[in-house]
Structure 1
Amino acid sequence: MARIGVDVGGTFTDLVLEITGKSDRAGVFVHKVPSTPHDQSVGVLRGVLEICELAGVHPRDVTMIVHGTTVATNITIEHNGADVGMLTTRGFRDILHIGRHKRPHNFSLQFDVPWQSHPLVRRRNRIPITERIMPPDGTVAIALAEDEVLEAAHLFKARGIGSVIICFLYSFLNDAHERRAKEIVQSVLPDAYVSCSSEVVNVIREYERFSTTAMNAFVGPKTALYLNNLENKLREAGINAHLRIMQSNGGVSTVEMCAKRPVSILMSGLAGGVMGGRWAGAMSDARNVITVDIGGTSADFSTIPDGQVKIMNPRDTYVGAYPVLAPMIDMATMGAGGGSIAYIDEGGAFRVGPRSAGADPGPACYGRGGTEPTVTDAQVVLGRLDPDQFLGGGIRIDAELSRRAIKEKIAGPLGMTVEEAALGIIRILNSNMSLAIRANSVAKGFDPRKFALLPFGGAGPLNGVALAEAVSAREVIVPPAPGITAAIGLLVTDMQYEFTRSVLTVLKDVTQEAVGRLNGVIDELTTQCRTSLEDDGVPAYRQRFVRIAECRYHGQGFELRAEIPDGAVTLENVERIKTNFHAQHRRDYGWSFDDVDVEIVTVRIIGIADTPALQWPELPAGAVGPDADALMFVRRTTFDDGKTYDTPRYDRSHLKAGNTLAGPAIVVQRDSTTLVPPGYRARVAANGNIHINRHTA
């Protein structure tokens, strides 16, 4: 029995295959193939077949494939989603245009308002419908004008619109009008991608609810097409494995669910790295870790305190400039990676990123026509990446092309040597990334001195020590397969389904009627979770449920999560919800108002099917000094202090538990390269992690 994790990045598609059971071939295999941006499924299928061949596994023996994808993310970045039609309550046609009347940059005269300049639904396609549901109990004040819905559906058909959203006011209290409108639209447009706001995000706040539903329909058709196409290609190749998709919240779900609610996978490609980083830290009993995932195009950072992955507050869950009320792991992302382009801007400033050379043409050293210098080219010039060892020798790179690009674009215009310019590229990159790490840790109340920095991705371990120095992290932990860690994260993730419902309840002097209404919502959402898990073949003994009340102080604008105690909510235990909210408020803000009324806004039930974590094989024990066959060769290498040293290269596959390497040293493996600067020591743990600390005599 085998299962595969496959993570698509901007430059490479990473794969990990685990063989489980009593097979003599039980173990873990890793692989990388170039990404295929024109159609990610091509690279995914190629990688799956190649890693099966590498592991000696027949494709039909693969039982599960977990996929992290950037398809939905790329659609939002490139603004090339579906042409969406919208039905909304008469008088509220311009909610998506007005937003919250917030200026992105308060003091700028040239600022752009993305939700207006790049609307998810053009105004001509936002059709007002006569209907009205009223709070607080969802009473129908004005019946749905079905003839107007039918007329709008025919208009959409005439305009060739194949994606439609239905967003009526207060549908989270009563969704009857949305459901009926959907039936009418589908009678006219049977093949259309139709989303109701009550199906996508059944919560309060009309702008955020409308925006989330609009995003769902904007990315939905292409995302659903990709997921279904990938599933079909795998079947045609004889791979009958269950295909699961990583969600933004760090859980996995089915193709069917993600095709219906693609807003849940907008951060799919990033979440796997965080989960993989937590897994690698846990192997070394490091519960406080800062994950640093540096690939070819971007860098992602997340702070994990006490082993708990943080979920962003609803007020912060934006994709681009659009609010999306879908649970997402709290992380920071920036355009910084191996393919990030260095350039001199119009003002003469030396900059790096966010533009990237990507997979095609890639860095100049790839010899595929790229002429602009990248971070990878800088690493090659400094001697940190060996041309004959890149990707285990799988890709030959030309150091002279790197030198030429840096000389022509940076060194010459700025009057520097090529080496000075290359070192400048690395320093600028690290400075930019350290600011992002502080924003995700210090700015949110976490002291990096108590955290281990965990760098991974193809480029992460090259920058790990420099970033740890910049933010004062206590140590650096490099996972066993850094370039594949995001893919590993896909195999250490539980299946999750989440359902929400807004049910405004002030907990001061709460009545039995209000408690009964709250329990009714909890039971209904739990049943929805249980049904989804059962439909996916998850037995009852593997199911567990997390119950969340999203609360605020009465009068506040946004909520924080507080756990709901087990069992039915009663007048006696409702105080525990308030206590949990106060504690969360203190963790996030450093203080709480214990005497102010607490209000539940939304109930969220998370149904989880626990998944066994991937078991990385332990290394054999070795001496303090590595075996002779671990030393590959010695080459001149320039480090961040500007000095050049004769630096030994060690083959990571020949390192054993207990081996200690004194810097300067470089550890080479097929999927990444680890830099150990002068003054540092690297120790290999039995679990395969490498711990790097400053050497003290």
Structure 2
Amino acid sequence: MHYAGIDIGGTFTDLVLYDAGNGDVHVHKVRSTPSDPGQALIQGLVELTDRAGVDASDVVAVLHGTTVATNAVLEHRGARTGMITTEGFRDVVHIGRHQRPEHYSVMQDIPWQSRPFVERCHRKTVSERLIPPRGDVMRPLDEDAVRVAARELREAGVEAVAVCFLFSYLDPAHERRAAEIVREEMPDAFVTTSADVVPQFREFERFTTTSINAFVGPGTGRYLGRLSAGLDAAGIRGQVGIMRSNGGLASADAAAERPVTMLMSGPAAGVLGGAWAGSLIGRKRLITFDVGGTSADIAIVTEQGVVEASARDSQVAGFPVLVPMIDVHAIGAGGGSIARVDDVGAFRVGPQSAGAEPGPAAYGNGGDQPTVTDAHVALGRLDPDRFLGGRMQLDRDAALAVIERLAGEMEMDADAAAEGVLALVNATMAQAIRSRTVQKGHDPREFALVAFGGAGPLHAAEVAAELEIPEVIVPPHPGITSATGLLTSDLRYDGMRTVFASERDIDFGDLGRRLDELEEELRGGLRRDGVRDGDMRVERALDCRYRGQGYELRVPLGASGVDAEAFATFHRLHRMEYGREFAVPIEVVNMRITVSGARSKLERVPAGSGDLGAAVLDRRPAVFRVDGELRAMETVIVDRANLSPGNQVDGPAIFVQEDTTTVVPPGWRARTEDNGVLVLTSIANGG
């Protein structure tokens, strides 16, 4: 049986094919097709199976990380969306909260006001009202008003409708009945309710999350439909699994119902792949460093696992998103980031990117702006003859031409300009890592940096040096680590309910029964995916806070179940997070359950068995900064595929392989481990 992991990036689509029988792994990269991302996926998978000598019918699962929903939000290109909400609450999604994105700016952009997902004219109100704490009906739903609102939205050309009522997390009956009516009146529309997407208090965030779900729903559904049809036409009829923001897979049908859960699909898979690479050599404290063509994504892994975003930090493009997601921090810094001198004479790199089309000038596809990739080529750090394993020839002359033009604007020589591009982008990346470590109480010197993506290993050693990170881990196939991460993940479904109970009057028995009901609901989803109960794993947690606080901490529940031990755990977590605890009553705000379904996963990549002498392909000059001066130094070019465990190379060296290039600067040492992992350490620090 073969499993395919496929991640679509801005520049390249990455593919991995895993044979669960003998452990063989085959990798492939193709240029992305932004106009129809599924085209590159299908084309690349057909090419990969042909190269591997595998019949398409032997692919039993296609596991996919996609940016379709993300791009729809970032580019604000989604469906014309309507909303039906409680009378008097039409403008919740406009007003937001008292917190402003930038507290002291009078010129700031407030995205939910400047770029609403639902225009005000498409927000309809109806009479209905529930009241806390139990969700009693204060005012029954006016079904006739819902029907009128649905007809008005249909006549306005609305394609998707979000039904968002006040306090619906206490009882979803009104929302679900309204959705039934809307579907009767608008049978072709995508209809979603807040109670089904995020049954949680905080109306603004709940309404906004549901609006996003509706906004991206039709486009995501069409994409998944085309993808399934294209795979079927290619003879690939394995089950399609979609990576969600929480780091778990879901069936294509489940993902299409709640596309808002896919907003961090690709980056989440990369974090899982980075954590897997660290585990191969026993490292548990990791900073994942995923640099692609347009962005760099940073996440943290500790002994407790991958760090998830809190409710106050869960956002995409400035919009709050209340769904479980891995805490991934993205910045506009990648191989395609454009270097320029701005209107006031400041030197900038990114966030603008040359993307996949036309791409960097070195790609020979019409790009005429200097990029980070062009700087690497100009300095000799990318071998024009061995890019993508020799399948793609880089145009060094074109790269030099754009760098020289930039150098002219900056009144310096070309090498200094190119090195300046790399120094600035490295500093930007280092600062992003500080924001996720130092500013959150982590010492980066206690972590290893896992570098992957098409450009991560090009920058990793220099970024690590700036942060005094002692070790860089480069996965076996770093350029396709996100695709690899898909093969290391399980099916996963998350559920939560708002409960609001104080430790002084909480009914642990009732809370346990409610958790049991939610667990059974989630188990049902996995059973529909073909997972046996014996292959399911359940995690339970409570969101708790001190009375008067505005945000919660996640408290995992142990084997003893729901009891007062949860409160002692909360005190400990609060002390770890904020440095102190309080003698104040604790509130339980939400209950959460995660149910995972185990599946066949990639365990390791076979190590090479070559010879270091044979692995050395060439020696050629490359430019590095040493002791404050730029020097053209003889640099060894190494074929990573021909290395054996224990091989060691001192920098300057460049390791080439099909999916990326790893730069080992002067003063650094690279060694290979038993499982194909490459480890970079500073010689001065005992490496």
Relative to the length of structure 2, the TM-score reads: 0.98
Cα drift, residue 589 of structure 1: 2.1
How do residues 430-469 of structure 1 correspond to structure 2 at under 5 angstroms?
430-469=426-465
Cα drift, residue 191 of structure 1: 1.4
Cα drift, residue 585 of structure 1: 1.9
1:581 matched residue in structure 2:
570
Amino acid at match of 1:4: A
From 634, 641, 644, the counterpart of 2:619: 634
C-alpha separation between the residues in 1 aligned to 2:508 and 2:680? 53
1:693 matched residue in structure 2:
681
C-alpha separation between the residues in 1 aligned to 2:639 and 2:609? 16
1:532 matched residue in structure 2:
525
How do residues 173-192 of structure 1 correspond to structure 2 at under 5 angstroms?
173-192=170-189
Cα drift, residue 627 of structure 1: 3.0
C-alpha separation between the residues in 1 aligned to 2:409 and 2:663? 30
Q: Which runs of 5+ in 2 are unaligned?
A: none
Contact 2:2 2:17 in 1 (8 A): yes
Q: Spell out, residue by residue over 1:524-551, the C-alpha distance to the aligned partner (whole angstroms, 9 max, x if none).
A: 1101111001111000110111111111
Q: Does 1:483 align with 2:479?
A: yes
- The count of aligned residue pairs is 682
Q: Does 1:13 align with 2:13?
A: yes
Cα drift, residue 330 of structure 1: 1.1
From 642, 645, 654, the counterpart of 2:633: 645
How do residues 561-576 of structure 1 correspond to structure 2 at under 5 angstroms?
561-566=554-559, 569=562, 574-576=563-565
1:554 matched residue in structure 2:
547
C-alpha separation between the residues in 2 aligned to 1:106 and 1:502? 29
Range that drifts further, 414-423 or 304-313: 304-313
Amino acid at match of 1:115: W
Cα drift, residue 509 of structure 1: 4.4
* C-alpha spacing 1:692/1:565, structure 2 compared with 1 (3 Å): closer
Amino acid at match of 1:111: Q
Contact 2:476 2:605 in 1 (8 A): no
From 309, 314, 333, the counterpart of 2:311: 314
Contact 1:288 1:307 in 2 (8 A): no
Q: Does 1:283 align with 2:280?
A: yes
1:334 matched residue in structure 2:
331
Cα drift, residue 303 of structure 1: 1.4
C-alpha separation between the residues in 1 aligned to 2:420 and 2:475? 27
Q: Does 1:150 align with 2:144?
A: no
2:625 match: secondary structure = coil
C-alpha separation between the residues in 1 aligned to 2:657 and 2:248? 29
C-alpha separation between the residues in 2 aligned to 1:224 and 1:618? 38
1:611 matched residue in structure 2:
599
C-alpha separation between the residues in 2 aligned to 1:110 and 1:627? 59
Q: Spell out, residue by residue over 1:489-540, the C-alpha distance to the aligned partner (whole angstroms, 9 max, x if none).
A: 0000111001111011111243xxx323312320111011110011110001
Amino acid at match of 1:74: N
Cα drift, residue 658 of structure 1: 0.7
Amino acid at match of 2:319: Y
Contact 1:82 1:218 in 2 (8 A): yes
Q: Does 1:294 align with 2:291?
A: yes
1:386 match: secondary structure = coil
Amino acid at match of 1:32: K
Cα drift, residue 576 of structure 1: 1.2
How do residues 502-541 of structure 1 correspond to structure 2 at under 5 angstroms?
502-510=498-506, 514-541=507-534
1:542 matched residue in structure 2:
535
Cα drift, residue 411 of structure 1: 0.5
Q: Spell out, residue by residue over 1:581-629, the C-alpha distance to the aligned partner (whole angstroms, 9 max, x if none).
A: 2222233223222x2211111111111112343133432567xxx5321
From 631, 648, 652, the counterpart of 1:664: 652
Q: Does 1:138 align with 2:138?
A: no
C-alpha separation between the residues in 2 aligned to 1:46 and 1:259? 23
Q: Which runs of 5+ in 1 are unaligned?
A: none
Contact 1:621 1:658 in 2 (8 A): no
Aligned sequence identity (%): 47
How do residues 673-692 of structure 1 correspond to structure 2 at under 5 angstroms?
673-692=661-680
C-alpha separation between the residues in 1 aligned to 2:590 and 2:104? 35
CA RMSD, Structure 1 to Structure 2 (Å): 1.3
Cα drift, residue 229 of structure 1: 1.4
Amino acid at match of 1:669: Q
C-alpha separation between the residues in 2 aligned to 1:527 and 1:683? 48
From 407, 413, 418, the counterpart of 2:414: 418
C-alpha separation between the residues in 2 aligned to 1:597 and 1:54? 63
2:106 match: secondary structure = coil
C-alpha separation between the residues in 1 aligned to 2:8 and 2:569? 38
2:376 matched residue in structure 1:
379
From 580, 603, 611, the counterpart of 1:591: 580
Amino acid at match of 1:564: L
2:646 match: secondary structure = coil
Cα drift, residue 428 of structure 1: 0.4
Contact 2:243 2:262 in 1 (8 A): yes
C-alpha separation between the residues in 2 aligned to 1:406 and 1:592? 55
* C-alpha spacing 1:182/1:405, structure 2 compared with 1 (3 Å): same
C-alpha separation between the residues in 1 aligned to 2:497 and 2:656? 51
Contact 1:331 1:440 in 2 (8 A): no
Contact 2:288 2:298 in 1 (8 A): yes
1:638 match: secondary structure = strand
1:67 match: secondary structure = strand
2:323 match: secondary structure = coil
Q: Spell out, residue by residue over 1:537-580, the C-alpha distance to the aligned partner (whole angstroms, 9 max, x if none).
A: 000110111111111111111111101233653xxxx2111122
2:201 matched residue in structure 1:
204
C-alpha separation between the residues in 2 aligned to 1:489 and 1:266? 17
C-alpha separation between the residues in 2 aligned to 1:620 and 1:349? 47
Cα drift, residue 236 of structure 1: 1.5
C-alpha separation between the residues in 1 aligned to 2:257 and 2:505? 40
Cα drift, residue 119 of structure 1: 0.6
Amino acid at match of 1:45: I
